[in-house]
A and B are shown apart, each in its own frame.
Chain A
Amino acid sequence: MAQSAVPSAQQSRPAPVRVPVREVVPWAVLAAVLGLVLIYFVGAEQGATSLFGGNWVHEFTHDGRHLLGFPCH
Chain B
Amino acid sequence: MMRSLLVRGMLVGLAAAAVALAIAWIYGEPQVGHAIAFEESGAAGHAHHGAAAEHAEEAPVSRAAQRTIGLITAMGFYGVAVGGLFAIAFAFAYGRLGTLGARATSALVALAGFVAVVLVPFLKYPATPPAVGNPDTIGGRTALYFSMVALGVLATTAAVIVGRRLAPRLGVWNASVVSAVGFAVVLAVVFRLTPRPDAVADGFPATVLWDFRVASLGVQIALWATLGLLFGHLTERSLARRPSPEAVAA
Q: What is A's interface to B at a CB cutoff of 8 Å?
A: 13-21, 23-24, 27-28, 30-32, 34-36, 38-39, 41-44, 47-49, 54-56, 59-73
Contact = CB atoms under 8 A, between A and B. Distances in A.
Interface of B: 1-3, 5-6, 9, 24, 28-29, 32, 51, 55, 59-61, 65-67, 70-71, 73-75, 77-78, 80-82, 84-85, 87-88, 91-92, 94-96, 98-102, 105, 118, 121-122, 125-130, 133, 135, 138-139, 141-143, 145-146, 212, 215-216, 219-220, 239, 245, 248-249
B221 to A, nearest CB: 12
A50 B65 CA distance: 22
A67 B25 CA distance: 10
B88 A61 contact: no
- The DSSP consensus for interface residues of chain B is helix
A24 B74 contact: no
Contacts of B126: 69
Given A59-B66, A61-B70, A70 B2 contact: no
Contacts of A60: 61, 65-66, 70, 73-74
B101 A16 contact: yes
Give the one of B84, B87, B219 with max A CB within 10 A: B84
B153 to A, nearest CB: 12
Contacts of B91: 19, 24, 27-28
B60 A15 contact: no
Given A23-B2, A31-B6, A70-B145, A63 B88 contact: no
A35 B74 contact: no
Contacts of B32: 63, 66-67
Give the one of A21, A23, A34, A61 with max B CB within 10 A: A61
